[in-house]
């Protein structure tokens, strides 16, 4: 004899699946965000040079390090509930200022990081964050989701 659907059984099953999916997604976001931070830091380290000297970086690549403040400023937030899902932000922490010897810059790393990413006054761009995001989403994120949801994967990015 076939098992009959009792009242509420279907909604309880979907609620359980939804809760498990949410937990897996939350769990997957931590290593994905950490990889984006790691790759953005690598991208923001295209050589090194002292303050006031020509950068070894070329437009279209990430910037070169002067003081290392931008590198240290690239962080992620905790994974938090957002709407019906989860959210983690990766970016440049506010309030960090580089020092160049005895001189302290008046521009925070969050602001000059944005200038490097989106374009300087001369139009040159030294992107480091967006390329890191794209690399992770199109590569390692797929493997992380496959590990969380099984080989077939529930999510296909891109």
For 52-97, write each residue's pLDDT tens digit.
899 999 999 999 999 999 999 999 999 999 987 899 999 999 989 9
Closest CA to 40 of 154, 149, 116: 116
Q: What is the pLDDT of residue 155?
A: 46
pTM metric for this prediction: 0.81
Q: Long-range contacts of range 17-24, CB-CB < 8 Å, 24 or more positions apart?
A: 21/154, 22/85, 22/86, 24/148, 24/149
More confident residue, 28 or 16: 28
For 126-158, the pLDDT digits (tens) are 999 999 999 999 999 988 888 887 755 444 444
pLDDT at 23 (0 to 100):
83
Q: CB of 131 within 8 A of CB of 116?
A: no
Q: Where are the strands (E) in the chain, listed by range?
A: 74-76, 80-82, 85-87, 90-92, 99-100, 103-104
């Amino acid at each position: 004899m076939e098992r009959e659907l009792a009242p509420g059984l279907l909604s309880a099953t979907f609620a359980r699946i939804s809760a498990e999916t949410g937990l897996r997604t939350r769990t997957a976001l931590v290593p994905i965000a950490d990889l984006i931070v790691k790759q953005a830091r690598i991208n923001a380290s295209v050589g090194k040079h002292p303050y006031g000297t020509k950068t070894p970086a070329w437009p279209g690549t990430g910037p070169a390090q002067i003081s290392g403040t931008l590198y240290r400023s690239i962080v992620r937030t905790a994974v938090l509930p957002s709407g019906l899902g989860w959210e983690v932000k990766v970016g440049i922490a506010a309030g960090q200022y580089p020092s160049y010897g005895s001189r302290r810059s008046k521009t925070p790393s969050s602001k000059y990081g944005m200038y490097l990413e989106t374009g300087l006054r001369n139009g040159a761009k030294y992107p480091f964050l967006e390329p890191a995001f794209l690399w992770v989403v199109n590569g390692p994120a797929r493997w992380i989701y496959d590990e969380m949801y099984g080989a077939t994967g529930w999510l296909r990015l891109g």
